[in-house]
Structure 1
Amino acid sequence: MKFSVTFGAVGDGRDPRGLADLARIAEDSGWDGVFLEDYLAYQGTSLPTYDPWICLAAMACATSRVRLGTTVTPLPRRRPWKVAAEAVALDHLSGGRMILGVGIGDPAGPFLGGVGETIDPRVLAEMLDEGLQVIDALWSGEPVHHQGKHYQLDGAQLTARPIQRPRIPIWIGGNLLLPAVRRRILRWDGSCAYKGPTTASLPILPEDVRALRAERGNDFAIKVSGGDPAAFAEAGATWWGRWIAPGPLAEAEQILRAGPPQL
């Protein structure tokens, strides 16, 4: 099992320079991954929020071993070809350490409905599924012809390819209890899902991990947060994560320097 921490790029010490320092501390302290939540305005607060993709670039330059990525990017908020190109650039900058976590986004967030974008979860799910098809095709380096409901590409081509093969890992977030989310998880490379509605989420349990493992097999990443790492490792989880809430920088550094759990 590998161990990670997740930050929001928000508040004091969570700007690009500060997160680069935190990622370096995490790497030196034995953590295996550092992930960022992807918000433009953090959960309705007035805290200063920084673009996570710029922060990831700084973190990539400050580290050499830890995996880096988003958990999760609300893909319907973005043009999939732009995300595809940015992820390739980060994969090269990090030497093949990028992981792309995706979801539909929060329909109640200020940067969906607040800027005139759709907030219909069904439409957002359609855009996510179609956007992932576009990204995967663009990462091939070949011209892409795609005439979908939400995106149309007529020979568009990204000539820079990811370092990682067959692609940058795509991890799926969302509510594990929804059949569509579960199907999406089983289609791609990993799960970083939660369970239940975001307003009343339930803990992911070892039996949930066993069920996913039975459906998908071993060539698949399952990231969980909290709970007993040993029990999750026995159930087949490949990543155990700790979320570090916005707050005093000294507290975050103390958590990182303590290192990951010992199994």
Structure 2
Amino acid sequence: MSAAGDNVGRMKHGFIFTGTDPSLAVELAPLAEASGWDAFFVWEGIWATDPWATLAAAAVVTDRIRLGTMLTPVPRRRPWELAGQTMTVDRLSNGRVILSAGLGVAAEFEQRFWIFEDDPGRKVRAELLDEGLEMLQHLWQGQPFSFEGEHYHAEPTQTMLPPAIVQQPRIPTWVVGVWPRMKSMRRVARYDGWIPNYAPPGAAGMDPLEQQRTYTPEIAAEAIAWITSERERLGLADRPFDVVQEGTTGGVDRVADAAVVRAWAEAGVTWWLESDWQVPAERVAEYARARVAAGPPRP
């Protein structure tokens, strides 16, 4: 079998719950596990259902499926609080958590996320993301440490230390990166997975719809080749690394669904994340139950 064909067989599949009802999410997680999905994700908002409380409940009613957010705006979070939440779910699930990390949506694209504070701008959010991710590496170990950054600091303490995470050396951390912006992509290469954004050459701004329209498996393959080379340079080539692609399949025609996913797998994508953000709120429960039960778009 060719390398591309082999990757098709190895691809994993996650389902993103786009609704807001935590009870429904906890109902869906074991259904997803029984229906052959490899992961179950919930979204994290500002003034919204608490994703980590929801995932904690999902952890105790599942055994195999991985659990995570899609995604966590790390610059909006206090790293020590995020460390405690993720550690708790990691221990409750016996090491099945994935952290998906990004800058968060800019105010120019979604003002709803900035109703309590002002957007400090992409540069500051990028600094907060880098420092937050660095702090998490220490916080997850439940050991005294010191940290001095531009935005955060920590003093060593021996008292009331939390337990460490189950997964080592860290909870797998997938990071949003904008291809082909090298500063963003170099951050991605240091962690455990890439959540793609794409900045088409010559395009104004970072319009999400334009990114989705112009990002193709061919562009993904180009970016993945760069990540592979960069990780070799960093001495990380022997450590697992995932590449994510989010999209929508029907769940009715398995052959057609698999064909949609195949091109991405052949490009080197390792996870297909099923989502449909266009489903109206009143239909989310009906849609999610049916699509989860239909199973992932495997060949």
Q: Do both proteins adopt the same fold according to a TM-score greater than 0.5, normalized to the shorter chain? A: yes
Q: 2:286 is matched with which residue?
A: 250
Shift, 1:232, TM fit? 2.1
Q: 2:35 is matched with which residue?
A: 29
Q: Counterpart amino acid of 1:106?
A: V
Shift, 1:195, TM fit? 2.1
Once residues 192 and 57 of structure 2 are traced to their aligned partners in structure 1, the CA distance between those partners, rounded to angstroms, is: 25
Shift, 1:228, TM fit? 2.7
Once residues 234 and 156 of structure 1 are traced to their aligned partners in structure 2, the CA distance between those partners, rounded to angstroms, is: 49
Q: Counterpart amino acid of 2:176?
A: G
Pairing 1:117-156 to 2, within 5 Å after superposition? 117-156=118-157
Once residues 269 and 146 of structure 2 are traced to their aligned partners in structure 1, the CA distance between those partners, rounded to angstroms, is: 37
Unaligned runs of 5+ in 2: 1-10, 200-205, 232-236, 248-258
Once residues 119 and 111 of structure 1 are traced to their aligned partners in structure 2, the CA distance between those partners, rounded to angstroms, is: 15
Pairing 1:90-105 to 2, within 5 Å after superposition? 90-105=89-104
Q: Counterpart amino acid of 2:165?
A: P
Q: Describe the shift of the 1:34–1:173 C-alpha distance in structure 2 as closer, same or farther (beyond 3 A).
A: same
Q: Which stretch has the larger CA shift, 109-118 or 193-202?
A: 109-118
Q: Contact 2:17 / 2:288 at 8 angstroms: preserved in 1?
A: no
Q: 1:45 is matched with which residue?
A: none
* Aligned alpha-carbon RMSD (Å): 2.1
Shift, 1:174, TM fit? 4.5
Unaligned runs of 5+ in 1: 42-48
Q: Counterpart amino acid of 1:228?
A: V
Once residues 59 and 182 of structure 1 are traced to their aligned partners in structure 2, the CA distance between those partners, rounded to angstroms, is: 32
Shift, 1:154, TM fit? 1.0
Q: Which stretch has the larger CA shift, 197-206 or 96-105?
A: 197-206
Q: 1:46 is matched with which residue?
A: none
Q: Which stretch has the larger CA shift, 244-253 or 186-195?
A: 244-253
Q: Contact 1:172 / 1:191 at 8 angstroms: preserved in 2?
A: yes
Once residues 49 and 293 of structure 2 are traced to their aligned partners in structure 1, the CA distance between those partners, rounded to angstroms, is: 24
Q: Contact 1:101 / 1:170 at 8 angstroms: preserved in 2?
A: yes
Once residues 242 and 156 of structure 1 are traced to their aligned partners in structure 2, the CA distance between those partners, rounded to angstroms, is: 43
Once residues 156 and 239 of structure 1 are traced to their aligned partners in structure 2, the CA distance between those partners, rounded to angstroms, is: 39
Q: Counterpart amino acid of 1:212?
A: I
Q: 2:298 is matched with which residue?
A: 262
Deviations 1:188-211 (A, max 9, x none): 110122323225223543334433
Q: Which stretch has the larger CA shift, 251-260 or 193-202?
A: 193-202
Once residues 37 and 194 of structure 1 are traced to their aligned partners in structure 2, the CA distance between those partners, rounded to angstroms, is: 17
What's the TM-score, normalizing by structure 1?
0.87
Q: Counterpart amino acid of 1:224?
A: Q
Q: How many residues align?
A: 252
Secondary structure at the aligned position of 2:49 is classed as coil
Once residues 186 and 194 of structure 2 are traced to their aligned partners in structure 1, the CA distance between those partners, rounded to angstroms, is: 11
Shift, 1:9, TM fit? 4.2
What's the TM-score, normalizing by structure 2?
0.77
Q: Contact 1:3 / 1:240 at 8 angstroms: preserved in 2?
A: yes
Q: Describe the shift of the 1:81–1:156 C-alpha distance in structure 2 as closer, same or farther (beyond 3 A).
A: farther
Q: Counterpart amino acid of 1:2?
A: K
Shift, 1:156, TM fit? 4.8
The alignment-based identity, stated in percent, is 37
Once residues 112 and 129 of structure 2 are traced to their aligned partners in structure 1, the CA distance between those partners, rounded to angstroms, is: 16
Q: Contact 1:172 / 1:192 at 8 angstroms: preserved in 2?
A: yes
Q: Which of 1 and 2 has greater Rg?
A: 2
Q: Contact 1:75 / 1:103 at 8 angstroms: preserved in 2?
A: yes
